Amino acid sequence: MPSCKWRIQVLFRSAGIKLYFLAALVFVLVVGCSNGPASVLTVTSTAEVISTAVIEPTEQAVDDLLASIERSMELIRGIDTPPPVEHKFVDKAGMRERLDEELSDPEVLGQIDHESTLFKLLGVIPQDANLNDIYDSMLGSQVLGLYDPEKEEFFVLGDDQSGAESIDIEAQLTYAHEYVHRLQDAKFDLEKMKKMATGDDMSLAISALIEGDATSAQSQYMFAHYDFSELSELLESAIADQAELTESPYFLQRSLEFSYINGAAFIAVILQLGQFTAVDAVFVDPPKSTEQVLHPEKYIDQEIPIEIDITDDAMGGDWTVQAENVMGEFFIRTWLESLGSENAIAAAAGWGGDAYAVFESELGDTALGLGIAWDTENDAREFIVELSNSFNTNIEYSSTSNRLDGVLEAWQGPGGYIVINRWSDDEGRFMTGISVATESELSHKLNFSLAVE
């Protein structure tokens, strides 16, 4: 069956963005508030210290600076020097060219087309939005570095033509972050790790592991090599840049942030178990879901997602499945938040597993079926009540049924006619079903199919 790889991380194998510096604060706050060893935030004593003094702008000085960063990151991360890899400093035009190359790839364009349909059915982007243009605008202003494990090359936004003096702190930290990806790739094979993902939710969880690890190592380097005034100035700049970002749909912005912010928080907890040796063990056995990233104790306890299946004929013979995958706890939480929910974290926290399918008719109409399994009956009820409340308080949705509160309800929304339902299946699982279609009859039919499978 076709797969809809909707995640932003799928488009960019490893895109370093300005959230690096805000994510570093998350890492420090999580570690600092824990009961773990204080040494977590220290750099290995043998790490080389980069001098921030003015260096004569010579080609050799650039090589020395970059080599020093590389040795420091190898020592911090505990990974031996890998074979050389091609790296380039590029200006904004050069970085834009790299991004445009990714966004124009036929496979990526197909993925964007699928996810655009999904997002519009859920109402998380405007119905007339061009998703490719949104991504181009979002990432064009944020990306500082890119690492491509397939080609074994990385790009950093900066200028090395005028010597080491021209490589500012932001570029140095970006280089440090991207070099960690090179270390990860050399030891764990990032392309192989990508293939371990059984669905989009696990793919995003693995991305959070990869970016969270690089952000954590970069954070240790940052606090060991730059003084308070330099970091304060850098943080102020990062916050100002975030405030000036082109307005983008909340759902997409949070999706871009997840791997850095939540990934850093996840790694901060893992570090308490045995510093980067413990992180290495997670690369061997990566998280199976965003639930495990959001709740590290569920990774430690190995709480595995429940597998759900939606049949290809759920909409009848005139419809075909265009995309199917797993949304995951983070997706569902963020969808609730985008609707205006103030209790989204609690409402999504009992997630046990899910599956969705996007259908297309012979006439080009689309529909969405989503089945979610919950840990307890109360979790299922809490979610459906919160989703109902979010629809009821959102001006874009209007109730279209007599309503059986907390069990079976319906609305008309931007993406179509929505039906939500709750039941317990033959296997004793506590389920909720959500369907979206152009007509009431079609949406009820699809939801009924979800409940009887």
Mean pLDDT, the chain, integer: 83
For residue 379, the model assigns a pLDDT of 97
Q: What are phi and psi of 247, to 5 degrees?
A: -60, 130
The DSSP secondary structure of 273-339, one letter per residue, reads TTHHHHHHHHHHS--SSHHHHHSHHHHHTT-PPPP----TTTT-TTEEEEEEE--HHHHHHHHHHHH
Q: Which helix (H) or strand (E) holds 76?
A: helix 59-77
Q: How far apart (Å, rounded) are the C-alpha atoms in residues 239 and 237?
A: 6
For residue 138, the model assigns a pLDDT of 77
For residue 391, the model assigns a pLDDT of 96
More confident residue, 149 or 71: 71
Res 393 pLDDT > 60 = yes
Contact at 8 Å (CB) between 15 and 146?
Answer: yes
Q: Say what percent of the chain tops pLDDT 90.
A: 55
Task: Give the C-alpha distances (Å, rounded to integers) separating 103 from 98, 107, 112, 194, 255.
Answer: 9, 9, 9, 19, 17
Res 3 pLDDT > 50 = no
Task: Give the C-alpha distances (Å, rounded to integers) separating 439 from 217, 367, 397.
Answer: 51, 10, 15
Give the least confident one: 48-52, 155-159, 193-197, 401-405.
48-52
Give the least confident one: 83-97, 107-121, 227-241, 346-360.
227-241
| pLDDT digits 0-9 by tens, 235-279 | 777 666 666 556 789 999 899 889 989 999 999 999 999 999 999
Nearest Cα residue to 446 out of 433, 429, 430, 432: 433
Res 389 pLDDT > 60 = yes
Q: Which two tokens stand for residue 195?
A: 């293939």
Give the least confident one: 55-64, 175-184, 253-262, 315-324.
55-64
Written in H, E and C, the secondary structure of 332-391 is: HHHHHHHHCCCCHHHHHCCEEEEEEEEEEECCCCEEEEEEEEECCHHHHHHHHHHHHHHH
For residue 257, the model assigns a pLDDT of 87
Q: How far apart (Å, rounded) are the C-alpha atoms in residues 340 and 371?
A: 22
For residue 142, the model assigns a pLDDT of 67
- Cβ neighbours for 222, distance < 8 A, ≥ 6 positions apart: 24, 173, 176, 231
Q: How far apart (Å, rounded) are the C-alpha atoms in residues 430 and 342?
A: 23
Res 57 pLDDT > 50 = no
More confident residue, 82 or 89: 82
| pLDDT digits 0-9 by tens, 192-230 | 998 999 999 999 999 999 999 999 999 899 888 888 887
| pLDDT digits 0-9 by tens, 407-452 | 789 999 999 999 999 999 888 899 999 999 999 999 999 999 998 7
For residue 49, the model assigns a pLDDT of 31
For residue 123, the model assigns a pLDDT of 97
Give the predicted TM-score (pTM) of the model: 0.87
What band does 81 get if pLDDT is binned at 50, 70 and 90?
confident
- Per mean pLDDT, which of 15-19, 254-258, 320-324 is the most reliable? 320-324
Helices 200-225 & 19-32 angle (0-180, nearest 10): 80
> Look-up: residue for tokens 């797993």?
326
Res 42 pLDDT > 90 = no
Q: Which two tokens stand for residue 205?
A: 């969880």
Nearest Cα residue to 298 out of 205, 390, 361: 205
| pLDDT digits 0-9 by tens, 331-361 | 999 999 999 999 999 999 999 999 999 999 9
Sign of CA dihedral 129, 133, 135, 138: negative
- Per mean pLDDT, which of 108-112, 161-165, 185-189 is the most reliable? 185-189
Residue type, 169: I
What would the mean pLDDT of 365-383 be, rounded to a whole number? 97
Q: Which two tokens stand for residue 52?
A: 């921030």
Q: How far apart (Å, rounded) are the C-alpha atoms in residues 160 and 166?
A: 6
Res 303 pLDDT > 50 = yes
Task: Compute CA 163 distance to the chain's CA centroid, rounded to the nearest angstrom.
Answer: 35
What would the mean pLDDT of 281-305 be, rounded to a whole number? 97
What band does 38 get if pLDDT is binned at 50, 70 and 90?
very low
For residue 72, the model assigns a pLDDT of 95
Contact at 8 Å (CB) between 410 and 400?
Answer: yes
State whether residue 210 is helix, strand or coil: helix
Q: Say what percent of the chain tops pLDDT 70.
A: 81
Task: Give the C-alpha distances (Å, rounded to integers) separating 308 from 79, 330, 432.
Answer: 39, 17, 12
- Per mean pLDDT, which of 6-20, 157-171, 301-315 is the most reliable? 301-315
For residue 69, the model assigns a pLDDT of 93
Q: How far apart (Å, rounded) are the C-alpha atoms in residues 108 and 100?
A: 11
More confident residue, 10 or 302: 302
Task: Give the C-alpha distances (Å, rounded to integers) separating 190 from 152, 196, 224, 264.
Answer: 10, 10, 28, 18
For residue 206, the model assigns a pLDDT of 96
